[in-house]
């Protein structure tokens, strides 16, 4: 049943992400405003839901799978990155947090570049 809960949340998260992309991604804008908006909004929502579900238990733990894993996972994975980095900073692990943030940005950007380059050359 948890698999279905995650899938249901994921369906709504994916539709939400697509909706934001349709609203905020006109062809004439070169800056990825839709993705930035989704990532920032997703991070904000992850923080809100973390407190409501995990810290305050205002919603049952079962909803964690629907909202935090399904919906947020499909809406943006940046929200997971953000909360993990925040936990490292809050725990006083500044060096680890900075390395994690730096590696996440640089490696992911490099991975996208490599993936595009390899695929462009193969296809």
> Mind listing the pLDDT tens digit for each residue in 40-65?
888 889 888 888 888 888 888 778 89
Torsion over CA: 85, 5, 21, 37 (sign): negative
**Has residue 27 been placed in a domain?**
yes
State what percent of residues in the chain have pLDDT above 70.
95
> What range does the domain containing 48 cover?
2-76
Q: Is residue 67 part of a domain?
A: yes
* 122 located within any domain: no
Return the C-alpha torsion angle 57, 60, 61, 62, nearest 10: -170
Any domain includes 36: yes
CA atoms within 13 A on the CB side of 22: 6
- What mean pLDDT is predicted for residues 66-71? 92
| Interval 3-17: pLDDT, tens | 999 999 999 999 999
Q: State the pTM of this model.
A: 0.73
Q: How many domains does the chain have?
A: 1
Residue 38 lies inside a defined structural domain of this protein: yes
């Amino acid at each position: 049943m948890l698999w279905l809960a995650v899938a249901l949340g994921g369906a709504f998260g994916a539709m939400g992400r697509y909706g934001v992309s349709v609203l905020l991604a006109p062809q004439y804008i070169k800056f990825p405003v839709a993705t930035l908006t989704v990532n920032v909004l997703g991070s904000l929502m992850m923080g809100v839901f973390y407190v409501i579900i995990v810290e305050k238990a205002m919603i049952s733990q079962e909803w964690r799978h629907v909202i935090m894993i399904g919906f947020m996972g499909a809406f943006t994975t940046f929200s997971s990155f953000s909360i993990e980095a925040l936990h490292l900073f809050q725990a006083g692990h500044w060096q680890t947090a900075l390395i994690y943030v730096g590696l996440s940005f640089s490696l992911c950007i490099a991975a996208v570049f490599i993936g595009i380059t390899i695929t462009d050359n193969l296809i």
